[in-house]
Chain A
Amino acid sequence: MNPYRHWRIRRDDDRIAWITLDVACSPMNKLSVEVMTELATVLDDLERYPPAAAVFLSGKDAGFIAGADIEEFTRLDSPQKARELVGRGWELFNRLAAIAYPTCALIRGHCLGGGLELALACRYRVAVDEPATRLALPEVMLGIVPGWGGMLRLPQVTGPAAALDMMLTGKGVDARKAKKLGLVDECVPARVMHNAARALVLSRKPARELPLLQKLLNGPLKAVVARQARAQVARRAQQKHYPAPYAILDMWSKFGGNALAVPADRPTSLDAIVASPTTRNLVRVFFLQERLKGFGKDSGFEASHVHVIGAGTMGGDIAAWCAGRGMTVTLQDQGIERIAPAIKRAARVFERKCRGDKLKARMMLERIVPDVDGRGVRQADVVIEAIFENLEAKHKLLAALEPMIKAEAVLATNTSSLRIEDIGAVLQNPARLVGIHFFNPVAKMPLVEVVSAADTDPAMARRAAAFVKQIDKLPLPVASAPGFLVNAVLGPYMLEAMRCVDEGVAPEAIDRALTDFGMPMGPIELVDLVGLDVAMAAGKALTGAAAPPKHLSQLVAAGSLGKKAGKGFYSWHDGKAQKGKTGAVPEGLAQRIIQPLLDATRRCVEQDVVADADLADAGVIFGTGFAPFTGGPMNHLGARPASPKPRPAQAARALPRAA
């Protein structure tokens, strides 16, 4: 009988112990306290009757090990508990690494965080060459550090440059890249993975050693490497907002990768990290993301054919995204010559995405079928209208489409400025229309708003959310209100920024103030990017009669419409805004410009545009890139005791409620 709850050991004729992790009552393997404690027992038992070799593998289809149990992080309320948690893993994996007989991790599917740290503590690693295989130390994204030996062993295996890149960005590598980096000893197809692991452990050869240069970089030259890496990190994240990457650098370069060795009073200590609100907020963002992923899970809806009408930038990119996710896409526009550019764009995207795998890229491209006559609509499981924002044109289109669409298919509009109610008015069954609102650029923006009008069929909204989830985007259910959530909060923010320009503040100073605050891009640059004409139209729709900012009007009148025109608030060259000297940033500038965004978010919560404050935070973070370390605007409001009382919701009353 198996003495363990989560582990299984099978000894074969070669006296190899095959140690399978199969965490009870969970679809994936997570290294919870219980699982780690049991692993210690497993090692005890192996010590009593040592095998010739040991191979760690997973009993889950989902992957190898997904990492530590993040749920447990939320309960770390004291530095003491954090030290205990880190110490347990650090010592356990040191013990694993010290085992005299050969050990191997057989990695198929995800191998993240603590999972990779376990694999690194083995003498060999075998990765299965499949798209799902992914090795990463994503701790930094949660504001924490790979404290179970990752900071010690990853640089020893790959050299510090690749290791720091993985640890400081949290980015993963696939099996082939892992082999190239030396992170795994073998990259093999699944059919021979057991043989490969067996051959490796029976070879008894010593663990792979780093080349001399890499050894030097990971030894005497650590300081040089660390300095360079720090400069790179500083360009992306400020220490006051994101302490974790700085802590990783410090722990690796000065403390041998041992998080416990950093004295508590250093700003890079475990104690400091756990005390930082960033860590709490990033963990919160992680769970918000999980919550978004959960929408549409229950509908059982699965799309295989998507029909997109409108082959412009948005429609074409939606089509390409869906085709890249395995769906057949019929792409409709008024003429084939309007569709061809979208195909060309998609071809380039797929080529890059498939990195030389021409067969795969061709398969993706073939899934996009030009469909001038719109005949694919009859087979489609999801129909998305992405034509220009004109109510009459949309009415004409939808009225013609409705009789041809399958009863169970999702009929969606990608409108950003028209009311779902108004668009649906022309339908026999207006309740079937939902909004599926993508953001530009489709390939980069993780959030998609799923918009319901008051009488939208909830089952259809659930299907729409399921579709969004199916294409690996984060669905956010929102009510039909002007600007939905994301544009409703971005509008007042960009407006305030442009008013500052009118008052004489340099765009450079404004953008600097907000990137310093933690926004991924300054608001003026953002206006240039979305287009001044779009901003003008959206501003009118969102703020009603209020006069548009003076500079905005002038620039629009002069045809300086932003990046697409080569000139807006900035001049644009080679896709980059030409910024002058920043100059002095006025006191409180960021606060002033961010305040309308915070107010607008609160209004959206009060007016039930989103179901609750958490979803508002999730939407604004994943829809606008709003500084994740804050945990989102609502969290930010709540966490700021000194924040001014919210202004009376004057503007809010001007906004029509979702009908």
Chain B
Amino acid sequence: MKQPIHVVDGARTPFLKARNAPGPFAASDLAVAAGRALLSRQRFAAGDLDEVILGCASPSPDETNIGRVVALRMGCGQQVPGWTVMRNCASGMQALDSAIVNIEAGRSHLVLAGGVDALSRAPLLYSDAMTRWFAAFASSRTLGQRAAQLTRFRLGYLAPVIGIMKGLTDPVIGQIMGQTAENIAFRFGIDRQQMDAYAMRSHQRVAAAQDAGRFDEIVPLVGPDGELYQADDGVRRDTSMQNLAKLKPFFDRKYGNVTAANSSQITDGAAWLILASDEAVNRHGLEPLGRIVDTQWAGLDPAQMGLGPVHAATPILQRHGLGLNDLDAWEINEAFAAQVLGCIAAWQDQAYCREQLGLPEVLGQLDEGKLNIDGGAIALGHPVGASGARIVLHLLNILKRRGGGRGIASICIGGGQGGAMLVEA
């Protein structure tokens, strides 16, 4: 029998919306601030960790193994190994799963795992043409060669490649993520009004949760200039259907339905969880928040990547003999309103359930009262690497708040994958 995986505690930074300029914190700064606050309140010392695993979709060039960088900066000591995992939007969830696997294998007992990204700091890159020109210039020996090379320069070489657009584009099918959301909307007939309504609900739920103090997993950040960052700053309390309707489609520019406002925001943030074996819980006298019971990864058509949650969550439901609404709460990461609505539609779609999921019948209608109870990435933002960890942590907090229960956190993954975790508190 597999041993239980305890979630001891967790914390995250406020999610800070990218505002067309590098944000106040680098990815490692965010991970260190949240991690230091989390570790300083434990019953064990940072050096008692067996390892630190961090998911990050776009680590900056100076900290590509950001997991080790932050482990050292958090004061875990030189002996605690740190590593980095990358599974696009599920990097944070992958970090949790990697921790689980190592705990199950008996290699680790106490692991700090989570995710981070500072998308506001995604770099501008030189084009290949510019890079080739540089290389040729650097290897010219004589003055004459250099002068000749100078004449070959074209101003167009300077046009930057926007790193984040590269990152959000599927390199196999050449579609940008928002276009894959359009595919799903097309398939299930989800219209603009439904997407906007869903987006508005996300903002309303986040606002309500903020007012009720339900984001206590956030640790406030203080910049070196004394500036305070206490809450997720992407939420718009003045969102209205009229305002949402004004936005132009962003991905299929003329005729599409997916807008910047019914998509997740580009955001900086970090989230951590502490995972522990039975032995670690007993050794340190820990009082866990809950457990991660099961995990599933799935692959699907990259052009339909937003339906990943359906493919990952369904096998878990089957394994545990559960219906959609047997769970007390659900998190489906809100990459796009169209994609979350698409997941709900897929489970009700006979053809999809039979052909794609191999089910005899539809799974049914997911009770939206149980889904993303405190809102999601459309209002909070989606710091790609962090989101998978955030939804698991927040789901556990919701369950705990309600006196216990079971839930599934799932996430779609660019490239055509899905990840899901069954948790209980």
Contacts and interface: CB of A to CB of B under 8 A. Distances in A.
Nearest to B33: A366
Given A371-B41, A373-B41, 7 more contacts: A328-B36, A340-B228, A343-B224, A366-B73, A367-B36, A375-B41, A379-B40
A160 interface: no
A630 B226 CA distance: 44
B222 A379 contact: no
Contacts of B220: 336, 370, 372
A343 B41 contact: no
A376 B41 contact: yes
A341 interface: yes
7 contacts: A328-B75, A347-B224, A363-B73, A369-B37, A370-B37, A379-B40, A379-B42
Interface in A25-80: none
A365 B37 contact: no
Interface in A359-386: 363, 365-367, 369-373, 375-376, 378-379
A378 B228 CA distance: 26
B396 interface: no
B233 to A, nearest CB: 15
Interface residues of B, number: 21
B37 A371 contact: yes
A218 interface: no
A344 B43 contact: no
Contacts of A371: 37, 40-41
B108 to A, nearest CB: 21
A305 B44 CA distance: 12
B40 A340 contact: no
A337 B40 CA distance: 20
A339 interface: yes
A330 interface: yes
Interface string B163-177: 000000000000000
A376 B226 contact: no
Interface string A281-315: 00000000000000000000000110000000000
B365 interface: no
Interface in A98-139: none
A347 B224 CA distance: 5
B32 interface: yes
B222 A336 contact: yes
Most buried by A among B32, B43, B75: B75
Contacts of B33: 366
Contacts of B227: 340
A423 to B, nearest CB: 25
Given A343-B224, A347-B224, A370-B220, A305 B73 contact: no
B45 interface: yes
A366 B73 CA distance: 8
* Most chain A beta-carbon contacts within 10 A, residue among B41, B42, B73, B225: B41
A378 B287 CA distance: 14
Nearest to A328: B75
A339 B37 contact: no
Nearest to B219: A370
A373 B220 CA distance: 12
Interface of B: 32-33, 36-37, 40-43, 45, 73-75, 219-220, 222, 224-228, 230
A336 to B, nearest CB: 5
Contact of B45 (A347, A367, A370, A379): A379
Given A336-B220, A379-B42, A379-B45, A369 B228 contact: no
A373 B11 CA distance: 14
A375 B226 contact: no
Given A328-B75, A336-B230, A379-B45, A369 B225 contact: no
Given A305-B40, A330-B40, A371-B41, A340 B226 contact: yes
A653 B270 CA distance: 62
Contacts of B73: 363, 366
Contacts of B36: 328, 366-367, 369
B228 A347 contact: no
Given A328-B75, A367-B75, A344 B40 contact: no
A223 B58 CA distance: 64
A363 B224 CA distance: 12
Nearest to A374: B41
Contacts of B219: 370
Given A366-B33, A366-B73, A367-B75, A341 B226 contact: yes
A317 to B, nearest CB: 15
A293 to B, nearest CB: 27
Contacts of B37: 369-371
Given A330-B40, A375-B40, A379-B40, A366 B32 contact: yes
Most chain A CB within 10 A, of B37, B45, B230, is at B37
Contacts of A372: 220
Given A366-B32, A366-B33, A366-B73, A328 B40 contact: yes
Contacts of B230: 336
Nearest to B40: A376
Contact of A347 (B32, B43, B75, B225): B225
Interface string A339-362: 111011001000000000000000
A327 to B, nearest CB: 10
A383 to B, nearest CB: 13
A603 B144 CA distance: 88
Given A328-B75, A363-B73, A340 B41 contact: no
A547 to B, nearest CB: 43
The residue among B43, B45, B222, B226 with the most chain A CB atoms within 10 A of its own CB is: B222
A341 B74 CA distance: 22
B222 A343 contact: yes
Nearest to A363: B73
A340 B45 contact: no
A363 B222 CA distance: 15
A148 B37 CA distance: 54
Contacts of A363: 73
B43 A343 contact: no
Chain A CB within 10 Å, residue with most, of B74, B220, B226? B226
Which of A337, A340, A341 counts the most B-chain CB atoms under 10 A from its CB?
Answer: A340
Interface string A318-342: 0000000000101000001101110
Nearest to A337: B228
B306 to A, nearest CB: 37
Contacts of A304: 45
Nearest to B46: A328
Nearest to B32: A366
A564 B391 CA distance: 49
A378 B286 CA distance: 13
A82 B75 CA distance: 52
A368 to B, nearest CB: 9
Contacts of B42: 379
A344 B226 contact: yes
Contacts of A366: 32-33, 36, 73-74
A373 B216 CA distance: 12
A562 B228 CA distance: 31
Nearest to B216: A373
A340 B222 contact: yes
A373 B222 CA distance: 16
Nearest to B43: A378
A304 B222 CA distance: 22
A386 to B, nearest CB: 18
A330 B39 CA distance: 11
